[in-house]
Structure 1
Amino acid sequence: MIPLGPLGLGEILGGAFATIGRHWKQLLGFALAVYGVALVLFGGALAVAYLSVEEELHRLLDWSADSPPGSGEIMPLVVTFAAVYLFGIVALLVANAVVYASCPAVLQDAVLGRPSSIGIIWSRVRPRVRAVLGTILISALIAAVPLLLMTLAFIGMVVALLSLAVDGSGQWGWLVLIGFLGVLATGPVAIWLWVRFSFAPAVAVFEGQGTIDAMARSAQLVRGAWWRVFGISLLAFVMAAVVSYVVQLLFQLLSLIPTGPASLSDDAASGGVAVTIVLTTMAFGMLTTLVGQILTSAFPQLVVALLYVDQRIRKENLAPVLAEAAGVPPQQPAAYGP
């Protein structure tokens, strides 16, 4: 799959594409199963939430100027669907951890030329999910700081503009300044740490390390090659983002079909039409998320895992060990595969 030596950009990208080409059934099938289970769980939670607040939701949709909804009708909806949203985030994080762990497992078989199956992948992934999930949560917390500050700056900008339009004062402009300066201060640090810890999921699977040890090992391997790891990883994520955007655009166009003029010909006074539109939009949104995650989760993680292998080849002379494991004589370093 890859040369037994330091890898260039073309060899890393080619190795990722080759792994997908030879093991697409295992990669996509495993991701489909994992994200499918997460989607079913989220859909079940959403259905339970809808049934529990169905009356309040219909009253809210049918309200008029004479009988506006009160806080007693709105707050149960907010709390219920906020809980469902948090549940969805947790389910997605766990699913991502499982898929992130599966990519190094598949890559290991691809590099060594071994047969693979979904059952084999799951047997390797299952004991490593907790460690990989820990690395993902820590990385998410690191990224959350500049993201929250960016949100603060955006909210401050909106509030300042509204205040300026209402009474001509821009007294809330300091929120924009604080958020902007905070992003400038914490953004580069978050990116630097994200790159240093980017090998942690691969380390957790390949070397069987725990969360903290995997992150420390990742920092050790990235040292001295930060810009290279950052550039190649960013390229992989951009390529995946383009594919995800195309898929999302396609499904967004499809989601407009049920809400066309034919479905809106009846009087909108009935709340059933509004409920149908909301549920249809949410269904297409979940389907878009599922397909986008399946198409884009594997490639960036395969690239990062190959970068991990490349750094070990460069720093720790891993090539002879891989050659022995793959059954390739050391004097034939061209490539190894099935």
Structure 2
Amino acid sequence: MSDTMGQGPGPYGGTPGWGGPPEYGGAPGWGGWGPPPAPKPGVIPLRPLELGDVLGGAFATIARGWKQLYGTAVAVYVLAALAVGGTLALAYSAVGDRLHEVIDLPPGEAPSWDQAQPLVAALASVWVFALVVLLVSTAVVTAAVPAVLQDTVLGRPVVFGTVWRRAWGKVPAVLGTVVLTGLIALVPVALMMLGFVALTVSLVTSLDGDGSGAGGLAALGFLGVLATAPVATWLWVKFSLAPHVAVFEGQGPIRSMRRSWHLVRGGWWRIFGISLLAYLMAAAVSFAIRQTVDMASAVPMAGTATLDDGEDIATFLVGMSGWFALALVGQLVAQIVTSTFPQLVNGLLYVDQRIRNENLAPVLASAAGAGTGSGTPAPQPPGPQPPAPPVVG
């Protein structure tokens, strides 16, 4: 589908000049009975999609390609966790002695800057490395979603090797779209943090009767959030299809974002509503998973030794290792859900917008061999025909 969606006739792979009603892409008048049902070679019918079609298509894609989709996500996030864990181990080996010096200080004595500086530098280095690893792993998983959709929409078998090759080759472009789209939220998030910090300072200093300055700063931060959040949300929706453009059409980050901007035109509210619903559903499932993990780990934690028992840190960490491993598994599952399901929905919204705006349905039907649902090619308009879109693997 990558290759079909991005390389069909027309400037963006659509088929221009297709006769008949746009919602079906066929010719009017089928013996007085109306048009036949839209072909459905894969997880969605090849017509403008309703909410049920989008959500049903996302769940059907999970059912058909969960091994490839979740296998890729598990491999990527486990490797990311190992990389960050290895960096933490290196940092501990470098500044472990300083850490013990700070921990072993007498009660009430604060560490000096000479003691804290190596720890701060090591922590900052690990944080930056972890942020980069998280962005790259998120880009790989985001690229894997449309790579799986390429086959499930056309009804083709999903092969892990094919998905991996498609996803890996588009990671730089997808990473660019993820970073640039993430920058949209930077201003409102920074203002939100400023407001909360200033509010905390205001509450603390108000006990001494001098919290007016911090209170004004908190109000300014929250007002800034109210002013910038709607703009950031509007821009986020306009660029929400960019990662899928990067994979389906092979565009770079900037062109993918421009393409997403044009595809969303006329459907902003619909895309916003369905995307928001998908994120809320994923968040609810993620919350349920974390709650289940917390309940399952409550019993082992009750019997875990504490530092109050006179044991050293190493013994305490060994006793907590089981709970920590369970928590990591729960976090991994929750992260996979929140990073895949909304992207599946957005990918189907990309297909839907192209069906609505560029008459992509006949191209997909032809590529899938579905035709009109009877196993024959879709009806052709009169006159010279444009060249058939190339279909690769």
TM-score by length of structure 2 reads 0.79
> Does structure 2 retain, via aligned residues, the 8 Å contact 1:150–1:180?
yes
Residue aligning to 1:61 = 103
Alpha-carbon distance between aligned partners in 2 of 1:127 and 1:9, rounded to the nearest angstrom? 31
Cα gap change, 1:282 to 1:163, in 2 (>3 Å): farther
Please state which structure has a larger fraction of its residues in helix: 1
Quote how far apart the aligned CAs of 1:58 are.
1.9
Cα RMSD for the two superposed structures? 2.2
Verify the 8 A CA contact 2:98 2:119 in the aligned structure 1: yes
Q: Which residue of 1 aligns with 2:378?
A: none
* Residue number among 173, 192, 208 corresponding to 1:150 in the alignment: 192
Render the CA deviation track for 1:159-208: whole Å, top value 9, x for unaligned.
Answer: 11111012354221121121011101110010000000000000000111
Partner of 2:213: helix, strand, or coil?
A: coil
Give the secondary-structure state (helix, strand or coil) at the position aligned to 1:172.
helix
Distance in 1 between the 2:196 and 2:302 partners? 33
Is 1:302 the counterpart of 2:360 in the alignment? Answer: no
Shift of 1:286: 4.2
Q: Give the aligned partner of residue 62 of structure 2.
A: 20
Query: How much does 1:306 deviate?
Result: 0.3
Shift of 1:283: 5.3
Which residue, 213, 216, 232 being the options, matches 1:171? 213
Taking a change above 3 Å as real, the CA distance of residues 165 and 7 of structure 1, as seen in their structure-2 partners, is same
Deviation by residue 1:51-92 (Cα, 9 ceiling, x = unmatched): 212112222222213754222222221221221122111111
Structure 2 residue corresponding to 1:252, chosen from 294, 297, 300: 294
Distance apart, 1:285 and its partner CA? 5.2
For residues 224-245 of structure 1, the C-alpha deviation after alignment (integer angstroms, 9 at most, x for no partner) is 1100000000000110011111
User: 1:113-137 CA deviation, whole Å, 9 max, x = no partner?
Assistant: 1122221111111221100000000
Contact conserved, 1:313 with 1:319, CA < 8 A, in 2?
yes
Larger Rg: 2
1:64 partner SS: coil
**Aligned equivalents of 2:162 and 2:244: distance in 1?**
17
Q: How does 1:41-80 map to 2 (within 5 A)?
A: 41-65=83-107, 68-80=110-122
1:94 aligns with one of 130, 136, 139: 136
Which residue in the other structure is 1:336 paired with?
Answer: none
Q: Go from structure 1 to structure 2 and tell me whether the alpha carbon gap of 1:192 and 1:295 turns closer, same or farther (over 3 Å shift).
A: same
Unpaired segments of 5 or more residues in structure 1?
A: 334-338
**Stretches of structure 2 lacking an aligned partner (at least 5 in a row):** 1-42, 376-393
Please give the secondary structure, in 1, of the residue aligned with 2:255. Answer: helix
Q: Return the match for 2:272 from 218, 230, 238.
A: 230
Residues 262, 323 of structure 1: CA spacing in aligned structure 2 closer, same or farther, 3 A cutoff? closer
CA contact (8 A) 2:201 2:211 kept: no
Specify whether residues 273 and 171 from structure 1 end up closer, same or farther in structure 2 by C-alpha distance, changes over 3 A only. farther
1:85 paired residue number:
127
Mapped partners of 1:124, 1:243: distance in 2: 28
Q: What SS is found at the alignment partner of 2:250?
A: coil
Note closer, same or farther for the CA distance 1:170–1:25 as it changes in structure 2 (3 Å cut).
Answer: same
Distance 1:268 1:191, change over 3 A: farther
User: 1 CA distance for matches of 2:295 and 2:122?
Assistant: 29
Amino acid at match of 1:187: A
Whether 1:186 and 2:228 are equivalent positions in the alignment is yes
Name the SS for the 1:171 alignment partner.
helix
CA contact (8 A) 2:64 2:158 kept: no
Please report how far the alpha carbon of residue 329 of structure 1 lies from its aligned counterpart in structure 2 after TM superposition: 1.7
Misfit runs of 4+, over 6 Å: 277-282
**1:106 and 1:201 mapped to 2: Cα distance?**
14
Give CA-to-partner distance per residue, 1:6-37, whole Å, 9 cap, x none: 00000100000001001111111111111111
Q: Distance in 1 between matches of 2:290 and 2:265?
A: 37
Asked if structure 2 preserves the Cα contact closer than 8 Å seen for 1:39 and 1:290, the reply is no
Query: TM-score with structure 1 length normalisation?
Result: 0.92
8 A Cα contact 1:229 1:307, kept in partner: yes
Matches within 5 A, 1:200-239: 200-239=242-281
Moved more, 183-192 or 79-88: 79-88
Aligned residue in 2 for 1:315: 357
> d(CA) in 1 for partners of 2:164 and 2:140?
9
Q: Paired residues, what number?
A: 333
**1:314-335 superposed Cα distances (whole Å, 9 cap, x missing partner):** 01111000000000123659xx
